[in-house]
Amino acid sequence: VNEFELINNYFKSNASLASSSASDVLLGIGDDAAIVRLGERRLVVATDTLNSAVHFPVEAKPEQIATRVVAVNLSDFAAMGAIPHWATLSLSMPNTDEQWLAAFSHTLLKSLLAYDVQLIGGDTTQGPLSISLTVMGESKKDNLLVRSGACVGDDIWLSAYTGLGKAGLDKVLSGNGLPKNKLKKLTEQEASFLVDQFYQPVPRLQLGQRLLGIANAAIDISDGLLAEAEHLATQSQCVLTLNQPSIPVHPILSTLYNQDQQWQAILCGGDDYELLFTASVDQRKALNDLSKEMCIPLARIGQVDKADNQQGDKVILLDQLGRSIEINEKSYQKGYLHFNA
């Protein structure tokens, strides 16, 4: 299943036609979230759905599912620099498991409140376990972080590390055993760190809001670094050139993986919920200062180039000698493959 194609082919083309005529729709389908005008304010809306056995293993605990669905949704807000306020929940569950429901609802509400988000409504129905959260909030400034704002000459920045979501998932899928690809034994702390990467990723809400006025475009990289870079490039009609040696490697990845697997996780792993953004060159000092102030590593990993109609590549990956590394779908699987696919 390629969910992007699904959305692009049908909903985007049809809906954009309809939405473009509605002056209250500032940003419709196709970005991290939608933005509409309500009076003097701007309403931001994002929806994400997690299905059992597709987005989390059937063994996942209710608390883990709750923290994950909140983080995944709020990451869309982070990528817009928007402030989340309210959420509605659609919960389908096969039967009335009160213990499950108590644990899930408690953690969900606690997680939402930690980000000042109120659960205001929802629908609980019978069906295969599925959790869909719609988060609403607002953007207070004019300079929103949309995917289409990247300018030729911009630096490309990445918050923290990628690959940890994939590593976390590998750990989760291995249960109490060893991750499939692991090269040496993990400490208990390392194992727990990895599981949290998958079930409790931290949405970069504050960073996103601080990037307003600094960054020109942003996207969260839930679907993998290269895939999201391609989305940004497509919507900004430019080329993103990434320098592989500048892309940070979290030390735990070399514990888990060989060189190939490590780069596979970093470039294509997905589930990372970090921000990929572009900013003009004169923002370097501001961003380095922000990185220190917020204690979030911000790495400059490339630059935005003019779209080359001859070649057609949206994302170019360069090695330490500036040579282009071939990105083919076989060696670097683009985008997020749900783990049962």
List 59, 67, 115, 122, residue binding a second copy (CB under 8 A): 122
Please report how close the Cβ of residue 224 comes to a second copy at its closest, in angstroms: 16
User: Is residue 104 within 8 Å of 66, Cβ to Cβ?
Assistant: yes
User: Would you say 39 or 177 has its CB closer to a second copy?
Assistant: 39
Stretch that binds a second copy, among 123-131, 148-156, 213-221, 246-254 (CB under 8 A): 123-131
User: Is residue 252 within 8 Å of 194, Cβ to Cβ?
Assistant: yes
Binding mask 138-177 for a second copy (x = CB under 8 A): x---------------------------------------
User: Would you say 140 or 292 has its CB closer to a second copy?
Assistant: 140
**In the range 10-39, which residues lie near a second copy by CB under 8 A?**
10-11, 14-15, 18-19, 22, 24-25, 28-29, 33-34, 36, 38-39
55 binds a second copy (CB under 8 A): yes
User: Would you say 145 or 240 has its CB closer to a second copy?
Assistant: 145
2 binds a second copy (CB under 8 A): yes
d(CA 31, CA 49): 16
List 59, 125, 213, 324, residue binding a second copy (CB under 8 A): 125
User: Is residue 25 within 8 Å of 19, Cβ to Cβ?
Assistant: yes
Burial 173-207 (b: 16+ CB within 10 A, else e): ebeeebbebbeeebeeebbebbebbbbbbbbbbeb
- 34-38 and 41-51 as β-strands: parallel, antiparallel, unpaired? antiparallel
269 binds a second copy (CB under 8 A): no
- Name which of 170, 235, 215 is nearest 78 in CA terms: 215
User: Would you say 2 or 311 has its CB closer to a second copy?
Assistant: 2
DSSP state of 56: B
By CB under 8 A, the count of residues binding a second copy is 69
85 binds a second copy (CB under 8 A): yes
92 binds a second copy (CB under 8 A): yes
User: Is residue 241 within 8 Å of 303, Cβ to Cβ?
Assistant: yes
DSSP state of 125: E
54 binds a second copy (CB under 8 A): yes
**Burial class of residue 341, CB neighbours in 10 A (0-12, 13-18, 19+):** exposed
User: Would you say 113 or 281 has its CB closer to a second copy?
Assistant: 113
Q: Helical H runs in 88-247? A: 98-114, 164-173, 188-199, 205-210, 225-236
Please report how close the Cβ of residue 277 comes to a second copy at its closest, in angstroms: 21
CA 125 to chain centroid:
28
d(CA 263, CA 300): 18
Stretch that binds a second copy, among 133-141, 142-150, 176-184, 253-261 (CB under 8 A): 133-141
Please report how close the Cβ of residue 12 comes to a second copy at its closest, in angstroms: 10
Please report how close the Cβ of residue 49 comes to a second copy at its closest, in angstroms: 4
> CA distances (Å), 150 to each of 1, 114, 238, 277, in order?
29, 32, 8, 8
User: Is residue 87 within 8 Å of 137, Cβ to Cβ?
Assistant: no
Please report how close the Cβ of residue 33 comes to a second copy at its closest, in angstroms: 7
95 binds a second copy (CB under 8 A): yes
Residues that bind a second copy (CB under 8 A): 1-3, 5-7, 9-11, 14-15, 18-19, 22, 24-25, 28-29, 33-34, 36, 38-41, 43, 45-52, 54-55, 85-86, 88-90, 92, 95-96, 98, 101-102, 105-106, 109, 113, 118-128, 130, 132, 134, 136, 138, 338, 341
